[in-house]
Amino acid sequence: MGRRAFLSIIALGALGVTVGSKVQNFLGNSVGTGFGGLLPFGDRFRIYSITGNYPSISRRKYRLEVTGLVERPTVYTLSDLEAMPATAFKKTFQCVTGWKVPDVEWRGVQLSHLLDLAGVKPGAVALTFESYDGADTESLTLDQAHLPDVLVAYEMLGAPVTLEHGGPVRLYVAQMFGYKSLKWLSAIRVVDRVEPGYWEQNGYPVNGWLDGSTGPTNPTPGLT
């Protein structure tokens, strides 16, 4: 058995006791690693990928599309994003399955800044996020997207976001569980209703607030 397969099985064993059956089924495709790192066992990232691999996009070729219900649809390069006003802070990263990593450093552009540049049209209600993995999607309401700690992040853990962590650019939604922080961000579409993302279609709450957080909730009836 290869190291990759072995690590996956360990990760699944851990997940089996902490998640409901609906979610458990498709986590069979997630890859768990993390014996690298100097962090204590309980304080390390588990690397997730729905597809079982990482879409590799060079820093030079990376593009982020902002489109949908906006006045000015735009495609940004990584340099474009790095030239914008940056926001940086530290926060505990928390997966809904229970693991946490304290004091993770993040740096990137506020999502609200990109929305201001694009000019959100009347009738817009939510955002849909797409990934270069072709599998993960996520959603935020427009109100949630304007929170100052929602970042289009190009640095994590004090360095450029690594490929396994979703680099060159991932989303970071500080006040929500990890599954909202979509990796390998390819597109941000402004839409007229909440489109529940991949993890939500498989059982996680659309509003992924961390325990104790509160904030704007989903205006769409029937979605929690």
Ligand X SMILES: Nc1nc2c(c(=O)[nH]1)N[C@H]1C(S)=C(S)[C@@H](COP(=O)(O)O)O[C@H]1N2
Query: Applying CB under 6 A, what is the total number of residues that bind ligand X?
Result: 18
CB under 8 Å to 201, separation ≥6 — which residues?
none
Min separation Cβ 47 and ligand X, Å: 4
Residue 32, contacted partner among Mo ion, ligand X, none, CB below 5-8 A by kind: none
Distance CA 200, CA 181 (A): 13
| Range in contact with ligand X (rule: CB under 6 A) among 13-21, 48-56, 115-123, 209-217 | 48-56
Distance of CA 10 to the CA centre of its chain: 23
Q: Which residue is nearest to ligand X (CB)?
A: 178
Distance CA 160, CA 218 (A): 32
Helices (H), the chain: 3-16, 21-27, 78-82, 111-118, 142-145, 198-201
Distance CA 189, CA 70 (A): 9
Min separation Cβ 135 and ligand X, Å: 7
If you ran DSSP here, which 8-state letter would residue 206 be given?
S
Residue 12, contacted partner among Mo ion, ligand X, none, CB below 5-8 A by kind: none
Distance of CA 134 to the CA centre of its chain: 14
CB under 8 Å to 116, separation ≥6 — which residues?
none
Contacting residue, 7, 11, 46, 197, with ligand X by CB under 6 A: 46
Q: Residue 120 or residue 182: which is nearer to ligand X going by CB? A: 182
Binding of residue 189 to ligand X (CB under 6 A): no
Binding of residue 140 to ligand X (CB under 6 A): no
Min separation Cβ 177 and ligand X, Å: 7
| Range in contact with Mo ion (rule: CB under 5 A) among 13-21, 138-146, 160-168, 175-183 | 175-183
Site residues (CB under 6 A) for ligand X, limited to 146-185: 165-166, 178-179, 181-184
Residue 181, contacted partner among Mo ion, ligand X, none, CB below 5-8 A by kind: ligand X
CB atoms within 10 A of CB 146: 16
Distance CA 111, CA 148 (A): 8
CB under 8 Å to 211, separation ≥6 — which residues?
none
Min separation Cβ 219 and ligand X, Å: 24
Would you tell me which residues interact with ligand X (CB under 6 A)? Answer: 45-50, 95, 131, 133, 136, 165-166, 178-179, 181-184
